[in-house]
Amino acid sequence: CFCQVTGELDDCTCDVETIDSFNNEQIFPRLLPLLESHYFRFYKVNLNKPCPFWTADSHCGLRDCAVKPCSPVIFIYYYDDDYFFLFIIIITSAFVFSEKTREALLDWRKHDDKAERFCVIDDEESPDSQYVDLLLNPERYTGYKGPEAWQIWNSIYEENCFKYDATSHNLVSFTARTFYSWLEGQCVEKRAFYRLISGLHASINVHLSARYLLDDTWFQRKWGHNVSEFRQRFDSDLTAGEGPKRLRNLYFLYLIELRALAKVLPFFSQPSFQLYTGQPEQDQKYKELLLEILNLAKSFPLHFDETSLFAGDEKEAAQLKEDIRLAFLNISRIMDCVGCFKCRVWGKVQTQGLGTALKILFSERQIEALPQSTEQRPGFQLSRQEVVSLLNAFGRSESVAFIIKYLYRPKGDLLCF
Ligand code: FAD
């Protein structure tokens, strides 16, 4: 458990409207084109790793759980998911996982730092690892549910050291009231960790409600937002008051990731940092866009004050950092037990992205000490996988946009926890 540092988490300086308009009007419109670039859309993942904890059933038979791989061929047959047509398309430079992109990824490997990972990085040399095109595989409703999905969520929450009563510890069976009264008695880091995981869980469930399979007939599959699915999960009355708390946790996750983006600006501003997109003329353009987003993140007026969480006695803080790192390593291993491959990809992206955000928040001093010259080797590094997952995890903030745009809005101030 990581309870060594204490402090207040409950002070609230931010209102939902500020976050909503900041995200939906300023950050998100800039983030979208960035995530569509070649650099950010390809994520390397090993989907064949066995579950290290139990024998997992595979849901890869579910049509929407399948992952469409990147293909280096010139012609492919493309079966469109949404319409019952068979297309033959010629892959253009926009689609090709080209030789240039391949070279760019090799360039990046030279820059990768093998030290101090917050998440298990899939073995990049393994023949089982593949690049997944995240744009071809959007996070949405897949039909993955039931005891297996619950077992995954249970195990993830257990990483929060919820071992106070092994027999009654079951997310599904024990009452929320018992749980929250227990949680309130816990240290600030445990509560923060719980809220981050719960925020991630909420973000996934908002996504599947906002991109739901509404119509599945032989000639057409229609995707769109499903307000009743959302209400089942988040409406205060239908969830005995739990739903709004879960949405609050989603905003909490957003603030933590936003803070990390603001703090990591000096790393990306280094002249030596390059985005190898595979298209040299695009590298500078996307680096500028990235810096614009990070500067915006820095300008956010109501940043979450994490000093009570991630500071304190140096020895204790180091132990806390190590404990959280180990918890995240375990959570990333649990992802190999997710039977639905598409859920597994996005689960890995998001846990690795959150792990990277925490690594940044724990590395403030190393980031401040980054050398200005290109000659010295910097003490703080991010690998390509970490950069891609950080920005894509933050890109899940489209759930913040979904809540406002399409879905039910609970009354009251969401951010006072
Ligand atoms: P679940 O969401 O499975 O939750 C189980 C229990 O946890 C609930 O009964 C409740 O008590 C509690 N709970 C629910 N939400 C929260 C919260 N935010 N905070 C705290 N406690 C909570 N499905 C898709 O359709 N598309 C996906 O891309 C997808 N990705 C997934 C990724 C992962 C890593 C996992 C584990 C699951 C994923 N799923 C996905 C499945 C989805 O999250 C749900 O598990 C599924 O829809 C079943 O929902 P449920 O209502 O039974 O409750």
Closest ligand 1 atom to Cα of 141: 25
Closest ligand 1 atom to Cα of 342: 28
Q: Is the distance from the beta carbon of residue 202 to the nearest atom of ligand 1 less than 6 Å?
A: yes
- The answer to whether 140 is annotated as binding is yes
- The answer to whether 198 is annotated as binding is yes
Q: For residues 42 and 389, what is the distance between their CA atoms, to the nearest angstrom? A: 10
- What is the value of ipTM here, to two decimals? 0.99
Catalytic residues: 340, 343
Cβ atoms of 337 and 158 within 8 Å: the answer is no
Q: Is the distance from the beta carbon of residue 64 to the nearest atom of ligand 1 less than 6 Å?
A: no
- The answer to whether 93 is annotated as binding is no
Q: For residues 132 and 68, what is the distance between their CA atoms, to the nearest angstrom? A: 7
Backbone angles phi, psi at 287, to 5 degrees: -65, -40
Say how many Å lie between the CA of residue 144 and the centre of ligand 1: 9
Q: Tell how far CA 286 is from the center of its chain.
A: 21
Our separate counts of H helices and E strands in the chain read 17, 6
Q: For residues 51 and 206, what is the distance between their CA atoms, to the nearest angstrom? A: 26
Question: What confidence score (pLDDT) does residue 59 get?
Answer: 59
Q: Is the distance from the beta carbon of residue 153 to the nearest atom of ligand 1 less than 6 Å?
A: yes
Closest ligand 1 atom to Cα of 198: 19
- The answer to whether 211 is annotated as binding is no
Return the residue whose CA atom lies nearest to atom 44 of ligand 1.
145
- Residue to substitute in 54, 141, 153 for testing ligand 1 pocket (most ligand atoms within 8 angstroms of CB): 153
CA angle 317, 188, 235 (to 5 degrees): 140
Residues comprising the chain, all counted: 417
Q: Is the distance from the beta carbon of residue 197 to the nearest atom of ligand 1 less than 6 Å?
A: no
pLDDT digits (tens, 9 = 90+) for 286-297: 999 999 999 999
CA count, 13 A, side-chain hemisphere, 226 = 19
Q: Is the distance from the beta carbon of residue 189 to the nearest atom of ligand 1 less than 6 Å?
A: no
- Residue to substitute in 169, 205, 350 for testing ligand 1 pocket (most ligand atoms within 8 angstroms of CB): 205
Backbone angles phi, psi at 238, to 5 degrees: -85, -10
Q: For residues 337 and 344, what is the distance between their CA atoms, to the nearest angstrom? A: 8
Return the residue whose CA atom lies nearest to atom 5 of ligand 1.
150
Residue 108 belongs to what H/E stretch?
helix 99-111
CA count, 13 A, side-chain hemisphere, 97 = 21
Question: What confidence score (pLDDT) does residue 241 get?
Answer: 79
Buried b (16+ CB within 10 A) or exposed e, 268-284: beeeebbbbbbbeeebe
Q: Coil, strand, or helix at residue 227?
A: helix
Say how many Å lie between the CA of residue 296 and the centre of ligand 1: 32
Residue with tokens 């209102």: 15
- The answer to whether 181 is annotated as binding is no
Instruction: State both tokens at 75.
Output: 């012609």
Helices 188-210 + 227-234 axis angle, to 10: 160
Q: For residues 169 and 151, what is the distance between their CA atoms, to the nearest angstrom? A: 12
Residue with tokens 């019952």: 84
Burial tier of 81 (Cβ tally within 10 Å: 0-12, 13-18, 19+): middle
Q: Is the distance from the beta carbon of residue 317 to the nearest atom of ligand 1 less than 6 Å?
A: no
CA angle 149, 155, 156 (to 5 degrees): 90
Question: What confidence score (pLDDT) does residue 40 get?
Answer: 92
Q: Is the distance from the beta carbon of residue 345 to the nearest atom of ligand 1 less than 6 Å?
A: no
Say how many Å lie between the CA of residue 243 and the centre of ligand 1: 13
Q: DSSP string of 17-52?
A: HHHHHIIIIIIHHHHHHHHTSHHHHEEEEETTPPPS
Say how many Å lie between the CA of residue 153 and the centre of ligand 1: 7
Q: Is the distance from the beta carbon of residue 176 to the nearest atom of ligand 1 less than 6 Å?
A: no
Say how many Å lie between the CA of residue 162 and the centre of ligand 1: 18
- Tens digits of pLDDT across the chain (417 residues): 332 223 333 444 566 777 888 888 899 999 999 999 988 999 989 888 889 888 866 656 688 888 887 654 333 333 444 443 333 333 433 444 556 666 665 555 555 544 455 555 655 667 788 889 999 999 999 999 999 899 999 888 876 544 433 333 333 333 444 555 555 555 566 677 888 899 999 999 999 999 999 998 888 899 998 988 988 898 877 888 788 788 888 888 988 899 999 999 999 998 888 887 777 778 889 999 999 999 999 998 777 666 666 556 677 667 767 777 788 888 888 999 999 999 999 999 999 999 999 889 888 888 888 776 555 656 788 988 899 999 999 998 888 777 766 665 554 444 332
Q: Within 10 A of 77 (CB to CB), how many other CB atoms are there? A: 8
Cβ atoms of 244 and 410 within 8 Å: the answer is yes
- The answer to whether 168 is annotated as binding is no
Question: What confidence score (pLDDT) does residue 77 get?
Answer: 35
Q: For residues 386 and 111, what is the distance between their CA atoms, to the nearest angstrom? A: 12
Q: Is the distance from the beta carbon of residue 198 to the nearest atom of ligand 1 less than 6 Å?
A: yes
Return the residue whose CA atom lies nearest to atom 31 of ligand 1.
343
Instruction: State both tokens at 389.
Output: 């997952």
Q: For residues 187 and 8, what is the distance between their CA atoms, to the nearest angstrom? A: 9
**Quick one: which of 253, 206, 205, 247 has its CA closest to 354?**
253
